A and B are shown apart, each in its own frame.
Chain A
Amino acid sequence: MVMTSPVPSSVIIDTEGLAKRYGRTEALVDLTMRVEAGEVFGFLGPNGAGKTTAVKLLLGLARPTGGLGTVLGAPLGDRTARSQIGYLPELFRYQPWLRAREVLELHRRLIGRGIDRSAGSVETVLADVGLADRANDLVGGFSKGMQQRLGLGVALLGGPALVVLDEPTSALDPVGRADVRAIIRRVSAAGSTVFLNSHLLTEVERVCDRVAIVDHGRVLASGRLTDLLGESTVRIRVTDLPATMPATLARFGRVATSDDGWLSIAGIDPNAVPDAVAAVVAAGGRVHAVDPGRATLEDRYMELVAGADEVRAAVADRPDPTR
């Protein structure tokens, strides 16, 4: 694949208009994104959005039908680049007749010369993913959660520069999920870039620096979490509010009141929320509830995905002028 422009070395993943079609099905239409070195990048989308297809293209497991891309500065699927990538597939299955340690040894041999023997050794990885005491057990006897932990270990082997995790907590209990979040933070702190493919918004919200939201094979929005979520808003349910109060509160942000007793201040600095509440109380207002109403990733996600669905429905309903 020929690249049209040089990519800075700090860019780990760079795609431009990446597309994949399976027969008449467009799995990925126009994937354009950049992931910088050291980031924990969340790739979000509903089921069937094209997330796993995108991961397969990045790893060379499938070939794009359009667009361009590089991973670690090399064309998609490049073998040398793959020696620096750890991958936990969505369908995590490992040889059931091997022991956990043997699966890791196998992958260590497959990585070959590209492996960093000082980082991510088999023993370290077993301990990291909580399988040290099951290292000599057959994988066939593992629960799904343990197999996913093993898959995570396989992905971390050799201290890869890029760790691609496709739904890494789908089979884990809450403790396991917390472990995975801790591992992701540790991997990121060690300098690796993490590409986290997930539909679990809370997971992404907790660990990711930047996210891209995809649906029907297109990126609907991408950026830093703070940018995507927009400005903070606080809603205060208050009675006996003096008539001059809204103007007094204007220094905190844009104030609006409603008939149901809620007062909202948009664009407020989250640290100033206690001051705003204190100002309301000082002016004689009786505060019944405070809702730090900053949009969650879920709000933004739903807004984007539902919006995209409406656009598609409108396009589909439009009469075809050629008929």
Chain B
Amino acid sequence: MSAILTIAGLTVVEASRRRTLWVLIGLTLLTVALTTWGVERLVSLARAGSTNEAQIVLGVSQVLILVAFMFSFVLAMTAAFLGAPAIAADLESGVAHAMLARPIRRADLVTGRWLGLVAIVVAYASAAGFLEIAAVGVVTGYAPPQPVVAVGFLCAQAIVLLTFAILLSTRIPAIAAGAICVVLFGLGWMAGVFAGIGRFFEAGPLVAVADASRWLLPTDGLWRGTIYGLEPPLVVLVAVGRGGTAADANPFFAASAPPLVFVAWSVVWVAIVLALAVVSLSRRDL
């Protein structure tokens, strides 16, 4: 455990010394400031006109979901490009050889790297998410119903992609691993869109394939949890009542939170992929 914590700490120090953390923090503050200013302007203009409060709440919640989507994308990229070189770069440079000749398990290196990066990603997602929600709340008065749930699913989505990137990192060069993660993340999101539309048109095989992809890479399913945590309950009731399956086709709407079994599967998925990463590195000749 001591070796795992040592490597996790080293990973956090690396992110800090390589200025990754500071770049993320700086850009996040800038993003929050700009989006909050934009939301405040729109809401002020709407209130000055004839827009009623319910419409404003709906509008703000939708903008918040779009901003969350942007953060989700940034987080996914961050997770992919932090995770992809986590092992591969150390193997390519030779840094790992000196470390793995020490009395540590290869599992310690993989788990320590994973733990350190999870800490960075979760800290970043939490800080960015809550700051954005709080800033929008201050200027518009809108508070999403379940901010913790929303940010929690945002973190979970990043952890899933990060873990997958680390698995690839044990075998594939960093750039290739990062590219694969980004492409699969995009495909996963599109599969969610296709599943929603396919369900509306009752396209059975398309829905089956798209749903299966959600279980194979649970990022999009978790993203729906973030949306659900940001939507006003009234919007959910009205949308489901009026649109039925049509509402599901909207990639920025979630009729319900991800089922518990899916959340549990996501946890198991992360454990399995992390275990595969350990096995993959353990079986590799350096």
Chain A interface (Cβ < 8 Å from any Cβ of B)? 22, 56, 59-63, 79-80, 82-83, 85, 87-89, 91-95, 97-98, 106-107, 109-112, 114, 151, 154
Contact = CB atoms under 8 A, between A and B. Distances in A.
Interface of B (DSSP majority class): helix
A106 B102 CA distance: 11
A154 B98 CA distance: 9
Interface string B94-105: 110111111111
A151 B98 contact: yes
B52 interface: no
User: Is the interface on chain B under 10, 10 to 19, 20 to 34, or 35 or more residues?
Assistant: 20 to 34
A91 B97 contact: yes
Interface string B77-107: 0000000000000000111011111111100
Contacts of A88: 98
Given A82-B101, A97-B14, A110 B94 contact: no
Contact of B98 (A22, A87, A109, A112): A87
Given A62-B286, A95-B95, 8 more contacts: A79-B104, A79-B105, A87-B97, A91-B93, A93-B95, A97-B18, A107-B98, A110-B3
B139 interface: no
Contacts of B99: 107, 110
Residue in B3, B100, B102, B105 with the greatest tally of chain A CB atoms within 10 Å: B102
A61 B285 contact: yes
Given A61-B286, A110-B3, A83 B103 contact: yes
Contact of B103 (A63, A91, A111): A111
Interface string B6-39: 1000100110011000000000000000000000
B2 interface: yes
A42 B53 CA distance: 83
Contacts of A95: 10, 14, 95
Contact of A87 (B14, B18, B95, B101): B101
Interface string B113-125: 0000000000000
A61 B2 contact: no
Nearest to B105: A79
13 contacts: A56-B286, A87-B101, A89-B94, A93-B94, A94-B98, A98-B13, A98-B17, A107-B102, A109-B3, A110-B6, A110-B104, A112-B3, A151-B98
B123 to A, nearest CB: 19
B285 A110 contact: no
A110 B3 CA distance: 6
Contacts of B285: 22, 56, 61-63
Residue in B2, B3, B14, B94 with the greatest tally of chain A CB atoms within 10 Å: B94
Contacts of A111: 102-103
B10 A82 contact: no
B10 A92 contact: no
A95 B285 CA distance: 21
Contacts of B97: 61, 87, 89, 91
A87 B100 CA distance: 10
B94 A92 contact: yes
Contacts of A107: 98-99, 102
Nearest to A59: B101
Contacts of B10: 95, 106
Nearest to B19: A97
Residue in B14, B95, B103, B286 with the greatest tally of chain A CB atoms within 10 Å: B103
B102 A110 contact: yes
A173 to B, nearest CB: 22
B14 A112 contact: no
A79 to B, nearest CB: 5
A68 to B, nearest CB: 18
Nearest to A79: B103
